[in-house]
Chain A
Amino acid sequence: MIQSLADGILVGAVLSLGAIGLTMVMHMLRFANFAHAELLTIGAYAALVFDRVFQGVNATLGAKLAPLTLTGSLVVAMAIAMAITGASAVLIDRFVFRRVREKGGELSMVFASFGVALIVRNVIGLIFGLHTELYSKGIAFAVVVSRDPLLLIKPDQVFVLAATLVIMLVLHLVLSRTTLGYALRAVAENPSLAQVNGIPLKRMIVLIWVIGGGLAATAGIFYGLTNHLSPVMGRDLVLPIFAAAIVGGIGSIYGAALGGMIVGIASSLALLILPSGYSPSVPFLIILAVLLVRPNGLFGEVRA
C-alpha cells in the first residue's frame, strides 16, 4: 500500500510535467494534441545522445553522482534536451500545426497531431532501434526506508521527485509573480482580450510550445531514469497524460500538476485490485469517472 503510493507519486511527477505543457497548448490552440507525448520521447532520446557525447568527451562528467545513477553529463544533457525539445515543438507547430490551423478547423488539427505522433515515434524507432535503452547500465540499489510496511525507494526516484517539485515551484513563481506569467495566463484565459492589451499572440504561442516542450523533455528524461527509454514511450504515456489534464480541468496549469499526481497514484493503487495486465486501461477509467462526476475537472471552467 505504502509502496504503491510512493510508486504512484513518482509516476505522477512524470505525468504532471507532461500534462502541464499539454493543457496549456490544448487550451490556447483549442485542440487535443496527441503528439504531445512524443515530445517526452524526443527529450529522453536527445538527452541520451548528449549524455553519451559528453561522457566520451570528458570522463569525469560521466562519473556517477553517488548515490544516484545520474551523471554530471546527463544533467548537462538534460538542459540541452529541453532546448532541443522546445525547438522541436516550435518547428512542428510552424511547419504542421500552424499551417493546418490557418487552413481548417480544430478537427484537422487533432488528425494532424496523430499523423505527427506516428512519424516522430517511428522515426525515433528507426534511428535508435525498437529495443529499450537505459541512461546508465549500472544497477541502482533501492534503499529500504521501512521494513514494515515494506517501502523501497531508489535514490534516483528521490532526485526525480525533488527536481519535479523545484521545476513546478519555478513555474509557479513565474506565473504568479512576473508580468510574463500574467501574460501567459491572460492569453490562456482570453486570447483576444490579451491581444487588445498589447500582448503579441504569436510570440506567446511560441513561448508556450517552448515551455511545454521543455517540461515534456524533463518528464521524458525522468521517465527514462526511473524506468527505461523506448521509442513507444509516448504511445504508452499519451493517455495517462490526457487523463491528468482532464482531471485537472483543461487549461488549468495547477490542475494539470495535481491531476498528474492523482492519475499516477490512482493507477498505482488500482493495481492492488486489478491484475497488472489491465494497467493501460486505468487512465481511461479515470477519464470516464471524471466525465461522469465533474466533466470540467477540478479547476476547469465551463466552456463550449
Chain B
Amino acid sequence: MPETGPTGAGLEVRGLVAGYIPDLPILKDVSVTVAPQSVTVIIGPNGAGKSTLIKAIAGLVPVSGGSVTLAGRAITGIAPDRMAGEGIAYVPQTDNIFRTLTIRQNLDLALRKAGGEARARLDELFTRFPPLAAKQKERAGALSGGQRQFLAVAMALAVKPSLILMDEPSAGLSPKAAEEVLALARGLTAQGTTILLVEQNVKQALRIADHCYILADGRNQIDGSAAALIADPVVGEIYLGGKRLRAS
C-alpha cells in the first residue's frame, strides 16, 4: 500500500462562509491551511462550527462565500457524490457505516469504482484491519464502536483518497479505542494521505497532530503547531484544563 499510495495533497480554505440558512451562516469567516501529508486538528467549543467546516468542505453544507482548493484545484461547494472522484474521503461522526449491510458489502460498495483492482484493495484493507476480515459476513450494525470507526476509515481508504476529513473519530469510544483510532489517523500520513479532523478529545488529538486550529463562533481564533499549543499557557488553561477534558 505505501508505494502505490496517493500523494497527500494540501488543502487551502480561504474565508469560508457557510450554513444551512442563507442569512444565518454558521461559518462566518474561516481560513485553514493543511500541509500535504500532515494531520491538522480543529478544536473549539460546541457550536463553534467545527463539524460545519468539515461538512462544507465535503459539499454537504451550502457554501455562500470563500474558497476551498485541494492541491491547487478549486473544489468549493463540490457535490457530495463527486468528492470521491476528487480524492476526498469524509468519515462522518455517527452513522458512518451502513448498518444493514454486512462488513464485506460495505467495503464492496466503497470499492465499486475500483474495477479490476477491487480484489487486491480489499485484501489490503483486510490485512490492515484483521478484525474486519474475521467478521466480514456479519452485519456492520453489530460491530463495536471502535470496530465501526475502523470500518468507516477502511471505507474511506477504499477510494485511495489524498485527503481524509474525519468528524470526531474518537467520539463515544473507550479511551483505548480512541487512542487506536487516532494512532491510525496518524499512521495514514506516513503513507501519503493528508488528514483534517475535528475533535473534542483535545489532549489526545493534539498528541498526534502536526497543526491545530481553534475556532469560536464561526471564526478562526488561534492556530499554531500542535506542540506550541500544548505548551501555550492560555490555550492550556482554556482548552486543556477544563473539567470535561480532565475527565478524559
Contacts and interface: CB of A to CB of B under 8 A. Distances in A.
Per the CB under 8 Å rule, do A and B touch in the complex?
yes
A1 B237 CA distance: 78
Interface of B: 58, 60, 80-85, 90, 92, 95-101, 105-106, 108-110, 112-113, 155, 159
Given A179-B109, A186-B98, A193-B95, 4 more contacts: A182-B112, A192-B60, A193-B97, A194-B98
A193 B101 contact: no
Given A185-B98, A185-B101, A189-B100, A197 B60 contact: no
B92 A193 contact: yes
A198 interface: yes
Given A182-B101, A185-B98, A197 B108 contact: no
Given A182-B101, A183-B112, A192-B60, A200 B92 contact: no
Interface residues of A, number: 17
A190 B90 contact: no
Contacts of A196: 58, 60, 80-81, 83, 90, 92
A201 interface: yes
20 contacts: A179-B108, A179-B109, A182-B105, A182-B109, A183-B109, A183-B112, A185-B98, A186-B98, A189-B98, A189-B99, A190-B95, A192-B60, A192-B80, A193-B92, A193-B97, A196-B90, A197-B84, A198-B82, A198-B85, A199-B109
Nearest to B104: A182
A146 interface: no
A108 interface: no
Given A182-B105, A186-B101, A189-B99, A197 B92 contact: no
Interface of A: 179, 182-183, 185-186, 189-190, 192-201
Nearest to B90: A196
Contacts of B96: 193
Contacts of B81: 195-196, 198-201
A193 B98 contact: yes
A99 B112 CA distance: 31
